[in-house]
Structure 1
Amino acid sequence: MLLKKLQLKTIDYKLMLTMCFLFFFTSIISAQEIIKDTVIKKPVEIPSGQKQKIDGIIATVGDYIVLDSDIDKGYLEITAQGGSTKDITRCQMLGKLLEDKLYAHQAIQDSIVVSDAEVRSMMDDRLNYMIQQVGDINKVVAYYKKNSVEEFKTYFADILKEQKLASEMTKKIVDAVEITPEEVRNFFKKIPKDELPTFGAEMEVAQIVVEPKVSAEDEQKVKDRLNAIRKDVLEGSSFATKAVLYSQDPGSSPNGGFYKMTRKTPFVKEFKDVAFSLGEGEVSEPFKTTFGYHIIIVEKIKGQEVELRHILIAPTVSETALKDAKERIINIRNKIVNKEITFAEAARTESDEKETRANGGTLVNPNTQDTRFELTKMDPTLYSQVSNLADNEVSQPLLNTDDKGKKTYKLITITNRIDSHTADYAKDYTKIKELALKEKQISTIAKWFDTKIKDTYIKIIGEYRDCNFVYNWLKK
């Protein structure tokens, strides 16, 4: 029953409604404005037996309001994406909106700050997506009944800021939750044997990576180019514009190279060392990381948090360097196949990948931080490289190009296979710990809602007072 209750609360309600609000649908309403009905080509699909109502305020949470049309817009967005609304009641939709409002309201009370730069970055991402879907920003503006792009951006910025506040508040609650080995053990013991989860087939994989050597001349060309960009910036050019034009970092280039980070943000050490050594407005000299060469400008420092922009340029790898790297990795493979050295020993002594060579080349699953990869959830590229390998077979040299265009050669081998099986405490501790932590996080969030609902002004009017909510919004 334990797992069934967990699924009922997280999947049937939470996850279903979260999916409903994917993309910008999560907080489609404005906190300060009553929105007129949107002009659409077909009527909103409302679940059978329910009438569409005249728009108006149906709920208040702290400083935020919820309109009746906000629920209708939620249904509209789901059907527009090809989804079904038949199993989602208006009460459930309202419950999700109330949760988002309380998160945002409490974030403000807790002095959580969302910067204009963050909102601009989110705005760029969302607008790019919307334009890809409909082909023209003016169609987006017309959909929201705004008179101009600027009016829409002002309106949408408030929505995005509310989204981010809710997200940061949720993160603050969840990140504070920790779980002990004893709690994990007790969680597992409470699960009836006939309700133990089944884990799919998995494998453990190791690799050896050889990087082509970049010549000193090619490295100097990159440093000279970055120094020229730095000089232009110091003379008044826009760093953000330069990042869009020249940076090879696909994750930040479209946003002008923008990142927000603390010392705990998972960036490479060299990058963080430079970022936290600069003052506001200061532009770094070119510096090297495993990704290439960077320059950074710090825009704002807020306590332990830094808002910055960066430009990444990687040196070009010559065909000669690629050929030399391939010959080197072929020699490594021959030594392993001829039993002169084990794969793990070769990884420790020959691999150029710092993250894996100390562990004999063993890969860590980025989603679970475990060494196991579930076959049905494995990265398609990695799966294609290992799917036809026998146990302990060493692949032929593989030319790999990452998302930044960096080329390397690698060898891959499967070190262990785990068949599909019922959960075992010793073998599956990491996964069981994750389940136990999720349950504790859900419980913590429920307690948080119980407490904050009591301390916050909340008003629900009309027939929505008859809803059977997950949380005690009516304070009964």
Structure 2
Amino acid sequence: MNKIFLLLAGMIAGTAAMAQESSIDEIIAVVGDKIILKSDVENQYALYLRENQTPNEAIKCTILQGLLSQKLLVAQAEIDSLAEKNANFPAQVEAELDKRVQFFVRSYFGGSVAELERFYGKPLLQLKEEFREQIGDQMKAELMQMEITAGLDVSPADIRKYYNSVPPDSLEIYNTEVEVGQIVIYPKVTEAQKMVARTRLAALRAEIQAGEDFERLAIVNSDDPGSASSGGDLGFVSRGQMVPEFEAAAFRLKEGELSQIIETEYGFHLIQGIERRGEQIHVRHILIKPEYSKVELDSARKLLAEVREKILVDTLSFAAAAVEYSDDELTRGNGGIFAPQGRQGFNMIPLDKINEYTGDAGIFNIIDTMEVGQISKPLVYVNQQTGEQGYRIVYYKSRSEPHRASLETDYPRLRNAALAVKQEEVVEEWFKDKITEQYVRIDESYQSCESLQHWLRASAQFEN
């Protein structure tokens, strides 16, 4: 694939660099009214070095190529008002920002927010503020690219043509892959257990009103694993990012004001307002989850055992059972099956990456003891994101052995590959047309970059 397309796709997917700021801040390129700083390239190059260790100055040409492409897409997206036409765009930016930060903390800093903050020399909240515009631009670029490729599809003939165009010895070899699903049931808490949690949170609220520090109490008491360590701080959030009950209460708060106790599907919350910026609010909260007893946990196990029995005797399919009974939001909408992101119509997951793809450190060990087609007995399950405990049954639906790609076994995957090639061709043609319509200037230090020749010719026409 073309390097422009690959780098741009990587940036949109969330791999844009987050590295230490450079003290150098000179403009090295301009696209329309968008500028690219030398530090923009150096920051991404710093992350490249962090991943690859081996210096390669040519990578800077590729990085600049991606940044130029993104700036052109963003400029056109703003001309076409694509973000303004999407009422949920601000909320989507915030959600993507949180996802990116979590990805970088997990992938590059060993899961340690403190290590991330040490690397940057700044607190997490300040980093989020600085990256918000960058993420917004990347998402505008994505909207523009979707607009360019909207309606594109491939026919069976296109797919076969693509398949036949690839030399047989160049067809991708796929390692062992599996298709796995689960049905999760969490225990249902009683009203008495809810009252205990509410009473505990009411006592914390009284302590705060009496002068106790909210953040200290959140660190010690909150059951929210994502915010407890930072004093309950959720950063800036937009409408649509939170469950309705929480959102309604949070958006009514003034700076420093405490909410009443709010009940949501996650438990009971006490919220404190910090700041508001239009349709965004900055809040912190304490979450107290009702604690269920062994009785409720055992009831969840028994219900799941009954569901499994219905599946085994064919009175209920696994997919229908997942939709009706499962409490797992990740898989329920896909008939209980784990679906890799970005792989439309294809649920096979590389066996050696099953834990990574599912976000579940225990799933490999479970299916390693099973035969294809089997459904496990109810197993104790702890959600690694929320800490919630329940039971699950695991379905080892299918398995494919290592093989070279073929139309018979990999049609959905080949369809996606053929469509990607078609989209790439359309995007490249769009770039060729649009480059001549926008003002382009590139610093002379990048004149030798072979990958920038189209851009350099456009830059030259404005200089002449």
TM-score normalized with structure 2 length: 0.67
User: Equivalents in 2 of 1:276, 1:214: separation in Å?
Assistant: 24
What per-residue deviation string (whole Å, max 9, x for no partner) do you get for residues 193-226 of structure 1?
2626555544333434333332321112223344
User: Equivalents in 1 of 2:178, 2:98: separation in Å?
Assistant: 38
Q: Greater helix share, 1 or 2? A: 2
User: Equivalents in 1 of 2:269, 2:5: separation in Å?
Assistant: 42
Say yes or no: does 1:373 pair with 2:343: no
Q: Kindly tell me: are residues 133 and 104 of structure 1, through their superposed partners in 2, closer, same or farther at Cα, counting changes over 3 Å?
A: same
User: Equivalents in 2 of 1:120, 1:192: separation in Å?
Assistant: 37
In 1, are the aligned partners of 2:8 and 2:69 still within 8 Å (CA)?
no
User: Equivalents in 1 of 2:253, 2:38: separation in Å?
Assistant: 46
Q: Kindly tell me: are residues 451 and 223 of structure 1, through their superposed partners in 2, closer, same or farther at Cα, counting changes over 3 Å?
A: farther
Question: Equivalent residue for 1:399?
Answer: 380
Q: Kindly tell me: are residues 194 and 383 of structure 1, through their superposed partners in 2, closer, same or farther at Cα, counting changes over 3 Å?
A: farther
Query: Which of 441, 446, 450 is residue 468 of structure 1 equivalent to?
Result: 450
Q: CA RMSD in A?
A: 5.4
Q: Kindly tell me: are residues 187 and 301 of structure 1, through their superposed partners in 2, closer, same or farther at Cα, counting changes over 3 Å?
A: farther
Question: Equivalent residue for 2:296?
Answer: 321
In 1, are the aligned partners of 2:261 and 2:268 still within 8 Å (CA)?
no
Question: Equivalent residue for 1:44?
Answer: none
What is the letter of the counterpart of residue 469 of structure 1?
A: S
In 2, are the aligned partners of 1:347 and 1:360 still within 8 Å (CA)?
no
Shift of 1:406: 0.9
Instruction: Figure out how many residues of one structure are paired with residues of the other and give that number.
Output: 428
Query: Which of 347, 350, 372 is residue 321 of structure 2 equivalent to?
Result: 347
Shift of 1:184: 5.0
Question: Equivalent residue for 1:408?
Answer: 390
User: Equivalents in 2 of 1:358, 1:90: separation in Å?
Assistant: 43
Shift of 1:390: 1.2
Q: Kindly tell me: are residues 414 and 467 of structure 1, through their superposed partners in 2, closer, same or farther at Cα, counting changes over 3 Å?
A: closer
Question: Equivalent residue for 2:358?
Answer: none
Question: Equivalent residue for 1:204?
Answer: 179
Q: Kindly tell me: are residues 228 and 88 of structure 1, through their superposed partners in 2, closer, same or farther at Cα, counting changes over 3 Å?
A: farther
User: Equivalents in 1 of 2:141, 2:249: separation in Å?
Assistant: 31
Query: Which of 155, 167, 175 is residue 138 of structure 2 equivalent to?
Result: 167
Q: Which moved more, 1:362-371 or 1:410-419?
A: 362-371
Say yes or no: does 1:24 pair with 2:6: no
Shift of 1:192: 3.8
Question: Equivalent residue for 1:51?
Answer: none
User: Equivalents in 2 of 1:356, 1:122: separation in Å?
Assistant: 15
Say yes or no: does 1:457 pair with 2:463: no
Structure 2 residue runs of 5 or longer lacking an equivalent are 356-360
Shift of 1:166: 2.6
Question: Equivalent residue for 1:431?
Answer: 413
TM-score normalized with structure 1 length: 0.65
Say yes or no: does 1:190 pair with 2:164: no
Question: Equivalent residue for 1:257?
Answer: 234
Question: Equivalent residue for 1:288?
Answer: 264
In 2, are the aligned partners of 1:295 and 1:312 still within 8 Å (CA)?
yes
User: Equivalents in 1 of 2:322, 2:163: separation in Å?
Assistant: 44
Q: Which moved more, 1:205-214 or 1:441-450?
A: 441-450
Secondary structure, counterpart of 2:362 in structure 1: helix
Shift of 1:407: 0.8
Question: Equivalent residue for 1:43?
Answer: none
Say yes or no: does 1:383 pair with 2:364: yes
In 1, are the aligned partners of 2:225 and 2:387 still within 8 Å (CA)?
no
Aligned counterparts, 1:356-371, within 5 A: 362-365=336-339, 367=341, 368=343, 370=345
Q: Kindly tell me: are residues 184 and 327 of structure 1, through their superposed partners in 2, closer, same or farther at Cα, counting changes over 3 Å?
A: same
Q: Kindly tell me: are residues 347 and 68 of structure 1, through their superposed partners in 2, closer, same or farther at Cα, counting changes over 3 Å?
A: closer
Query: Which of 268, 272, 275 is residue 247 of structure 2 equivalent to?
Result: 275
User: Equivalents in 2 of 1:165, 1:60: separation in Å?
Assistant: 19
Percent identical = 22
Shift of 1:374: 1.6
In 2, are the aligned partners of 1:211 and 1:409 still within 8 Å (CA)?
yes
